Structure 1
Amino acid sequence: MQTNLYLVRHAHSAYTPDELGRPLSAQGFIDAKRISKVLENEKIDVVNSSQYKRAVQTVEGISQVIGKKIIIENGFKERKLAENPVDDFDSAILKVWQNPSFSWKGGESNIDAQKRGVSAIFKLLDKYAEKNIAVGTHGNTIVLIMNCFDEKYDFHFWKNLDMPDIYKLTFDKKVLQTVTRVWDRE
C-alpha cells in the first residue's frame, strides 16, 4: 500500500521582520482557501506543518475540514540561510545550492537542511503508513527534500515554484515512486 505526502509551500505572506510570526497576506488567505479545496479532494488523513505562522495558516483550512489538529513538526521549518539578513539574497541562496556543504555564518547548509527535512519525512512515513498526509512547509525545504530522492529538483526548480504550490510524493514504504504537482495556479 502507498503513502502520499502533500508538500504544501505556504501562500504569500505579508513581510515583517518576525520570520516566525509572519502572517499570510490578503492574497495568501485567498490562496489558502483554494489549497484547502484541492486537498479536500485528495482525502487527507493527517495535517503536519512547520511552526511558522504562514505555513500553519496555509493548511489550517484542510485541518478544519477533516476535523483534526495540525501537528507541528520542527523538521519542516524554513531553512535558515544566515544568522543575519544577507545583502544579496539571490547570490547567497545560489551559493548554498552550488556548494551543498557550504553555510553562511549562523545558517544551514543544503546538506543540513535536507537531512532535517528528510528525517521528518521518514518519521511521517513510519507513523502514518498508507495515509494521505498534508505538510505545510517552505519552498526551499520542499525542494531540498525532493532533491534527496532525485537531483533534478534543484535550484532552478525551486526558482520556478509557485507560492503557494503543492507536490504529491507517493511512497511505497520509504521508496519514492512518483512526484505529481497537484496545484494549478489559475
Structure 2
Amino acid sequence: MNKNIYIIRHCEAEGQSSDSPLTEKGVIQANELSNFLSSDIKVDRIISSPFLRAIQTIRPFVENNNIEIELDSRLSERVLSSTFFPDWMEKLEATFRRMDLKYEGGESSNEARNRIVEVVNDIVEGNSDNTIIVAHGGVISLLLNHYDNNFGFEQWKTLSNPDVYLLHLTKNDAHYKRLWKVD
C-alpha cells in the first residue's frame, strides 16, 4: 500500500456558516491553489466537505482537470458548541488537552477526529492512490493530531487559508509534511 492524501484547508471565506462563500481574496487564492496543485501533483480522486467555502476552494482545480468532487459530511467543520462563548479560543484550547471534553450542542475532539479518520480509512481501502480531501482547520488539525500527538492547539493556530499537507501512508508508516508555503 502506498497512498498520498493531500489535505487542503479552504481558502479565505466570508464567515463560518456552511453557506459562507469565499472572499474576493479567497477566490484568487483558489486559483493560485489550482496552479500549485496542477504543477506536479497527480490526483485520482477529490473528496470535499459540503460547506460552500470548501467546494469553491477546489472548484478551479476541478474545472481545469475534469475531476468530479465527492461530497462527504464527515469532512465538515467541527462544531465546538451551539452556545456562543466569548472565550471560545480558551474553550477550544481545552478540547485539545481533554479530547473527550464536549460542550452543549457540540462534539468532542475525539468525535470529530474519529469521523475524519474514517474518511482516511475509506481512502486506504479504496483503489485511488492520490486523493485530495478539502476540509476545515479544526477537523484537519485533529486528523494531523491522530498521526502526531504533538500537533495540537498551537499548531492549529499556525494553519493558513488555504493550507496544504501531504499525508503519505504505507503499510507500516504514516507521515505528513506541509506543502503550502506561507508568506
TM-score, normalized by the shorter chain, greater than 0.5: yes
Indicate which of 149, 167, 174 corresponds to 2:165. 167
What is the rounded CA distance, in whole Å, between the counterparts of 1:96 and 1:141 in structure 2?
12
What secondary structure sits across from 2:131 in the alignment?
Answer: strand
- Structure 2 runs not aligned, ≥5 long: none
CA deviations on 1:123-168 (whole Å, 9 max, x unpaired) are 1121234x21111100111110111111011111111111110000
Deviations 1:40-90 (A, max 9, x none): 121112111001100111111221222121000111110011013322221
Distance 2:108 2:63 in 1: 35
Secondary structure of the corresponding residue to residue 12 of structure 1 = coil
Kept in 1, the 8 Å contact 2:147–2:175? The answer is no
In the superposition, the TM-score normalised over structure 1's length comes to: 0.92
Q: State the AA in 2 paired with 1:180.
A: K
**Residue aligned with 1:120, SS:** helix
Q: Deviation at 1:15?
A: 2.3
CA distance in 1, matches of 2:12, 2:24: 8
Inter-partner Cα distance in structure 2 for 1:73 and 1:165:
19
Shift of 1:185: 2.7
Contact 1:149 1:176 (8 Å CA) reproduced:
no
The amino acid across from 2:149 in the alignment is E
Q: Which amino acid aligns with 2:146?
A: C
Where in structure 1 are there 5+ consecutive unaligned residues? none
Identity %: 27
The equivalent residue for 2:76 is 77
Task: Give the partner amino acid of 2:115.
Answer: R
Distance between the aligned counterparts of 2:173 and 2:112, measured in 1?
19
Alignment length (residue pairs): 182
Which portions of structure 1, spanning 4 or more consecutive aligned residues, are displaced by more than 6 angstroms? none
**CA 1:101–1:14: 2 relative to 1, 3 Å:** same
* Contact preservation (8 Å) 1:169, 1:176: no
Alignment partner of 2:31 out of 9, 15, 33 = 33
| Structure 2 residue aligned with 1:9 | 9
Q: Is residue 2:177 matched to residue 1:180? A: yes
- Which residue identity is paired with 1:13? A
Equivalent residues of 2:44, 2:130 under 8 A apart: yes
Q: Deviations over 1:71-120 (max 9, x none)?
A: 00111110011013322221121121121100110101001000011011
- The CA deviation at 1:39 is 1.4
Mapping of residues 1-186 of structure 1, within 5 Å: 1-15=1-15, 19-40=17-38, 41-129=40-128, 131-173=129-171, 175-186=172-183
